[in-house]
Amino acid sequence: MNPASDGGTSESIFDLDYASWGIRSTLMVAGFVFYLGVFVVCHQLSSSLNATYRSLVAREKVFWDLAATRAVFGVQSTAAGLWALLGDPVLHADKARGQQNWCWFHITTATGFFCFENVAVHLSNLIFRTFDLFLVIHHLFAFLGFLGCLVNLQAGHYLAMTTLLLEMSTPFTCVSWMLLKELLPLTELREASGAAAWTSESPCLPLLQKMK
């Protein structure tokens, strides 16, 4: 099956020659560069505007920036995944081999993102002398899976697009983690000043204490 699309508006936006390896590899690199840019911009803005971020150790700053980058990718993934799951008639007509140009765009840029994730994880492990085997395997499988879709012109797109829905929790994880870092100093201050009533009744306290 050749890369093709049947959708009017989608075709006008994503109508590229995806049979060309040059187009697909360029979009993969563009995805890598874009999400690297999100990471850098998050670091710059947080350093300038957020006192809590400036107080974090280097490893936590990296996690903060990665959480924000994953959240942006999560928004892209959720939109693409929901449209594939609920709205695209071509993919639903042939879930095994159906292809769409807009899917090619998301597959190539997602491959770039997962490449960025792998580079970030390995550099972080090297710099901070840590190693999380599960995280390494998780990111490696994600990258190889989407790279396989990018390379194989015959692969259907429905499974890849709906798999992106696994990223839909990342915006909430990002917000939760940042709020945790913002609220922890307040919690510690209240504990130190003897605000026992507030601390004993707060439903968030057990979670905060476990994640310190």
3-state SS record for 159-186: HHHHHHHHHCCHHHHHHHHHHHHHHHHH
Nearest C-alpha neighbor of 66 from the set 109, 18, 123, 144: 123
Contact 80, 88 (CB under 8 A): no
Which pLDDT value is given to residue 202?
Answer: 47
Q: What's the mean pLDDT in 30-52?
A: 96
- Mean pLDDT within 50-76: 94
Provide the pLDDT for residue 132.
Answer: 83
Tokens of 59: 């490893």
pLDDT band for position 187 (cuts 50, 70, 90): low
What is the rounded average pLDDT for all residues in the chain? 85
Per-residue pLDDT averaged across 166-186, rounded? 86
Quick one: average pLDDT of 40-50? 95
**Of the candidates 93, 134, 146, 139, which has an alpha carbon nearest to the alpha carbon of residue 120?**
139
pLDDT in tens, 105-156: 999 999 999 999 999 999 999 999 988 888 889 999 999 999 999 999 999 9
pLDDT at 55 over 70: yes
Does residue 51 carry a pLDDT above 70?
Answer: yes
The predicted model scores a pTM of 0.81
SS3 (DSSP) at 132: coil
Residue 3: what pLDDT? 61
